[in-house]
Structure 1
Amino acid sequence: MVKDLCVHLDGGDGDKDRLEAARQIAVMFDAHLSGVFVNRLPDMPAAEIYSYSASALDDMQRQAREKGDRIAAALEGLLSGLDVRNELRRFDVLSSRWQQTFLAEARLYDLFVSTLPQEDDHETMALVESVLFGAGHSVLLVSPKCISALDFSTIVLGWRNTREAARAVDEALPFLKRADRVSVCMIGDDELGRIERVTQGNDIARHLDRHGVSVELNPLPEGKGVGATLLDEADLLNAGLIVMGGYGHTRLREWVLGGATREILKRSEVPVLMGH
């Protein structure tokens, strides 16, 4: 169940969109909404610290905290106007620790809500990757183009028998149970033929039916690629939500998004729920 969700706030232009998306989801499930604001304090490399006096460093810290106070006050004003239970969670941490701080907080909620990162918004993309691969819960990302009226009555579910897809299905159950139409898309690849894909679809359909979710099975050729095919199908069905596994691979100690996952995040105009 979705009873406790969080949204990333930073005092920027995107806060209102993110809060509105989270508010609508909180209303759907009568959930509590927490706005998480990580106020970043100056973090000097060791080689530069000696270039500043102690008083100068103290002034920089003070100015950062005062800026955080102004942002927090504005965020409290936004939250006070919402029609759902909410709170602001503020953390003052060194800049080098802000992402780890948010990740640790995100693990305490049922769902992380944000807007889909814009192509040049590398910071938000990095945060989404961090939460997707490290929080242990799903992420729901909403395009600013559809925030005014979220409609999850038709859902496209990208299915293959993997841990990531199974995790996404489990996390998406509250949404799937509310939907009027769920299309399970098994997109072709080099490993499985159409019959094998339909068999896998029957297996997940049986599982979902036991949760009261009726689905349509939709085996599809890969065509232009997994990501593009899933997006085309969502557009064809006028779907209001895409559910899929969030795939990636490790590079040294960091997770990096897989090609289809990254394409969905960059191109989708439909909200996307991903699990890993």
Structure 2
Amino acid sequence: MIRDLCVHLDGSSGDKDRLEAARRIAVIFDAHLSGVFVNRLPDMPATDFYGYSAADFDEMQSQARAKGDKIAAALEGPLSDLDVRHELRRFDVVSSRWQQTILAEARLYDLFVSTLPQEDDHEAMALVESVLFGAGHSVLLVPPKCISTLDFSTIVLGWRNTREAARAVDEALPFLKRAENVSVCMIGDDELGRIERVTQGNDIARHLDRHGVAVELNPLPEGKGVGATLLEEADLLNAGLIVMGGYGHTRLREWVLGGATREIMKKSEISVLMAH
């Protein structure tokens, strides 16, 4: 059950869309909404190199806190207008810790809601990757242009028998139970034939039926790729939500999105729920 969700706010123009997306989902589930605002303070400079004095650094800190006060005050207005239970949670941390702070906060909620990052917004993409792979809960990403018409009555579920897909199914159950149509898409690959994919689909269909979710099994050829095939199927069914495992791999110490996951994030025109 989704009773507690959070959304990242930073004082930018994107806050309006992110907050409205979170509000609409909070209304659906009668959930509490927390806006998470991380006010970034300057990191301690290398004094010998930059020549900053302690007084200079204190002044930089004071200016950053004052800027945070203005942003928090500006956020209070939109938050107070919400028709759901809500709060603003503010954290003043050094810039090098801002992403880790949001990640730690996201672990305390049922769902992290945001807008789909723009292709050139590398910072927003990095934050979504961090929460997806590190929070232990799902992320729900909404394209800005479809926020006002959110409709989760038809859902496309990308399924293969993996840990990531199983996590996505579990996290998405509150949405699946409310849906009128759920299409379980088993997309072909080099390892499984159509009959094997249908068998796997029957297994997850049986599990979902025990939760009161009726599904339609949809074995599909891989075609242009997993991501493109899921997007085409969602468009064909006029779906309002794609549910899928969030796949990735480590590059040194950082998680990097897999190809299909990144393609969905970049190209989807409907909401996406991912879990890892």
- Same structural fold, with TM-score higher than 0.5 when normalized by the shorter chain: yes
Residue 203 of structure 2 corresponds to which residue in structure 1? 203
How many Å separate the matches in 2 of 1:121 and 1:260? 19
How many Å separate the matches in 2 of 1:123 and 1:179? 33
Query: Residue by residue, what CA displacement relative to the aligned partner does 1:92-139 show, whole Å, maximum 9, x if unpaired?
Result: 000000000110000000000000000000001000000000000000
How many Å separate the matches in 2 of 1:45 and 1:198? 59
Tell me by how many angstroms 1:253 deviates. 1.1
Kindly report which structure 2 residues correspond to 1:44-193, keeping only aligned pairs within 5 A, or say none. Answer: 44-46=44-46, 51-193=51-193
TM-score after normalising by structure 2: 0.99
Q: 1:50 to 1:121 in 2, by over 3 A?
A: closer
Tell me by how many angstroms 1:47 deviates. 5.3
Residue type at the aligned position of 2:163: R
RMSD: 0.9
Kindly report which structure 2 residues correspond to 1:22-41, keeping only aligned pairs within 5 A, or say none. Answer: 22-41=22-41
Residue type at the aligned position of 1:88: L
Tell me by how many angstroms 1:221 deviates. 0.3
* 4+ long deviations beyond 6 Å: none
Q: Secondary structure at the match of 2:156?
A: strand
Residue 229 of structure 2 corresponds to which residue in structure 1? 229
Provide the aligned length of Structure 1 versus Structure 2. Answer: 276
How many Å separate the matches in 1 of 2:79 and 2:73? 10
How many Å separate the matches in 2 of 1:224 and 1:138? 27
Q: Secondary structure at the match of 1:112?
A: strand
How many Å separate the matches in 2 of 1:274 and 1:234? 15
Query: Residue by residue, what CA displacement relative to the aligned partner does 1:210-234 show, whole Å, maximum 9, x if unpaired?
Result: 0000000000000000000000000
Q: Secondary structure at the match of 2:250?
A: strand
Tell me by how many angstroms 1:56 deviates. 1.2
Residue 265 of structure 1 corresponds to which residue in structure 2? 265
Unaligned runs of 5+ in 2: none
2:146/2:269 contact within 8 Å kept: yes
How many Å separate the matches in 1 of 2:22 and 2:49? 40
Q: Secondary structure at the match of 2:43?
A: coil
Residue type at the aligned position of 1:266: K
Residue type at the aligned position of 2:258: G
Q: Secondary structure at the match of 1:113?
A: strand
2:47/2:53 contact within 8 Å kept: no
Residue type at the aligned position of 1:252: L
Tell me by how many angstroms 1:46 deviates. 2.4
How many Å separate the matches in 1 of 2:30 and 2:114? 18
Q: 1:119 to 1:80 in 2, by over 3 A?
A: same
Tell me by how many angstroms 1:37 deviates. 0.2
Residue type at the aligned position of 2:267: R
TM-score after normalising by structure 1: 0.99
Unaligned runs of 5+ in 1: none
How many Å separate the matches in 1 of 2:181 and 2:174? 14
My pick for the range that moved more, 43-52 or 156-165, is: 43-52
